[in-house]
Amino acid sequence: MVNKTALIVSFLGVITLGGVTNKFAYQIKDVGDPAYPAHYFKKPWFLELLMFIGMVMSFPLHWAIQACSKPKVADGSQSEPLLPEEVKDRGWKIRALIFLPAMGDLVGSILSFTGLVYISNSTAQMLGSSIIIMVAVNSYIFLGRRYNSIQYAGMFIVLSSLLIVGYAADMAARDKNPQGQQGASASEQAFGMFLCVLARVVNSIQFVLEEKVMGESGLHPFEVTGTEGVYGLLMTACVIMPILARIPGSDVGGVYENTEDSLLMIQRNGTLDLVLIFYLLGLWGLNALGMMVMKHLGSVFRAVSRNMQALFVWLIDMALFYGLGSKGFGYGPVGEPWNGTASWIQVVGFVFMTVGVFVYAYGNAVQQVKAAQQEELKGIPSPIPVAHSMRELALDLDEGMMPSPLAVIAAEFNQDNAFGDAEASRGLRAGSLTPGAFATPQSLRQRHRIGSNADFGMVGL
| pLDDT attached to residue 449 | 44
> Stretch 267-292: mean pLDDT, rounded?
84
Stretch 204-231: mean pLDDT: 78
Whether 107 maps to a domain, the answer reads yes
How many angstroms separate the CA atoms of 165 and 399, rounded? 40
As a whole-number percent, the residues of the chain with pLDDT over 90 amount to 26
The pLDDT value recorded for residue 310 is 87
How confident is the model over 110-124, as pLDDT tens digits? 999 999 988 888 888
Q: How far is CA 210 from CA 61, 71, 185, 231, in A?
A: 21, 27, 37, 15
Using 50, 70 and 90 to split pLDDT, how confident is the model at 217? low
Give pLDDT tens digits for 364-407. 877 777 776 666 655 554 444 444 444 555 545 554 555 555 55
Of residues 340 and 444, more confidence is placed in 340
Asked, for residue 325, whether it belongs to a domain, the answer is yes
* Domain boundaries, position 101: 4-66+85-458
Domain count, the chain: 1
Say what the pLDDT of residue 203 is. 86
Q: Do 24 and 274 form a contact (C-beta atoms < 8 A)?
A: no
pLDDT of residue 291: 64
pLDDT (average), residues 299-311: 74
Residue 399: exposure state from Cβ atoms within 10 A (0-12, 13-18, ≥19): exposed
For residue 419, the model assigns a pLDDT of: 37
* pLDDT for the residue 461: 42
- What is the pLDDT of the chain when averaged over all its residues? 76
Burial class from Cβ neighbours inside 10 Å (0-12, 13-18, 19+) for residue 286 reads: buried
- Reply yes or no on whether the pLDDT at 278 is more than 80: yes
pLDDT above 80 (res 201)? yes
d(CA 241, CA 50): 13
Residue 39's φ and ψ, nearest 5 degrees, are -150, 165
Per mean pLDDT, which range of 17-26, 60-69, 146-155, 349-358 is the poorest? 60-69
Question: Is 153 inside a domain boundary?
Answer: yes
In a domain, 173, yes or no: yes
CB 207 within 8 A of CB 136: no
The pLDDT, as a whole number, for residue 199 is: 92
Residues in the chain: 461
Q: In terms of pLDDT, which residue wins out, 283 or 353?
A: 353
Segment 309-347, tens digit of pLDDT: 888 999 999 998 898 877 777 777 888 889 889 999 999
Q: How confident is the model over 240-252, as pLDDT tens digits?
A: 999 999 999 989 9
**pLDDT exceeds cutoff 80 at 89:** no
Which pLDDT band, with edges at 50, 70 and 90, does 412 fall under? low
pLDDT band with cut points at 50, 70 and 90 for residue 360: confident
Pairwise CA distance, residues 300 & 409, whole Å: 7
Contact 451, 224 (CB under 8 A): no
Residue 268 is predicted with a pLDDT of 92
Residue 303 CA to residue 459 CA, distance in Å, equals 8
How confident is the model at residue 284, as a pLDDT?
79
**Residue 204 pLDDT greater than 70, yes or no:** yes
Measured CA to CA, the distance from residue 166 to residue 193 in angstroms comes to 7
| CA–CA separation, 346 and 339 (whole Å) | 10
More confident residue, 336 or 427: 336
pTM for this one? 0.76
* Dihedral of the alpha carbons of 284, 286, 291, 293, in degrees to the nearest 10: 140
| DSSP string covering 289-336 | HHHHHHHHT-HHHHHHHHHHHHHHHHHHHHHHHHHH-TTBTTTB--S-
Return the pLDDT at 90: 60
Does a structural domain hold residue 80? no
Helix (H) or strand (E) holding 364: helix 341-377
**So what's the pLDDT on residue 348?**
96
In a domain, 72, yes or no: no
Structural domain contains residue 74: no
**268 near 30, Cβ under 8 Å?**
yes
In whole angstroms, what is the distance from residue 88 CA to residue 101 CA?
20
Confidence of residue 46 (pLDDT cuts 50, 70, 90): very high
Question: 108-112, 139-143, 432-436: which has the highest mean pLDDT?
Answer: 108-112
Confidence check: pLDDT of 429 > 60: no
Q: How confident is the model over 214-241, as a mean pLDDT? A: 85
Distance CA 112, CA 314 (A): 17
Q: Is residue 48 situated within a structural domain?
A: yes
